[in-house]
Amino acid sequence: MLIQVVHSHPLTDSYNHALFRTIVESLQDRHQVVATDLYREGFSPVMTEAERQSYYQPPYAEEKVAALTRQLRQADGIIFCFPHWWFSMPAMLKGYFDRVWAPGTAFAHDLDGGRIKPLLTNIKLFGVVTTYGSPWWLTRIVMQDPGRKVLFRALKPMCGPGVRSFYLAHYDMDRSTPASRQAFAERVRAKITGL
């Protein structure tokens, strides 16, 4: 499989970046990997005027993100690695979805019927490796896990039916320990190695 790993964290010495490296290294023995580090690649999360104007009037003006849309169209699987801040993805990753998972790439509009048609049927694997500063009960029960809902109710369906998925989260990072971080990294390695 050709698997794209999309990472969003500004610090290369962060635990999250170490998870990104773990994912990429664990995949490389059995799969082709496209490692996409949005910060290191200088990706701009800001949607351009041309992109927004063309959102409902095809063709979508994807020129400035053409390399990323090409990678997305070619991938058999995609894994996102990022932290949750304020119970949501970082602005960098949100901008990636706004600009790259756009009409003509991720979906086609049926404006008359009010529906969208998934176009990323090439994606057979949709994975998430993430961290939260808050404990699981606050994230899942009190806040209702809004970031996870966006990923699995809005974005994963663009991959079409039958896509396999997984979601691995290290909660309570604000009180994590070397042992909890190591245990989660090993859980990630085991999951990725088994793909």
pLDDT in tens, 98-112: 999 999 999 998 877
Say whether the peptide bond before residue 59 is cis (omega within 30 degrees of 0).
yes
With a cut of 90, say whether residue 12 has pLDDT above it.
Answer: yes
Torsion of CA 40, 46, 49, 55, to 10 degrees: 90
pLDDT digits (tens, 9 = 90+) for 129-186: 999 999 999 899 999 999 999 999 999 999 978 999 999 999 999 999 999 999 999 9
User: What residues does 34 pair with on adjacent strands?
Assistant: 4
- Calpha distance 83→28 (Å, rounded): 23
Torsion of CA 48, 87, 76, 45, to 10 degrees: 20
CB 119 within 8 A of CB 104: yes
Q: What is the pTM of this model?
A: 0.95
Domain boundaries, the chain: 2-193
Task: For residue 27, count other CB atoms closer than 10 A to its CB.
Answer: 20
CATH number of 2-193: 3.40.50.360
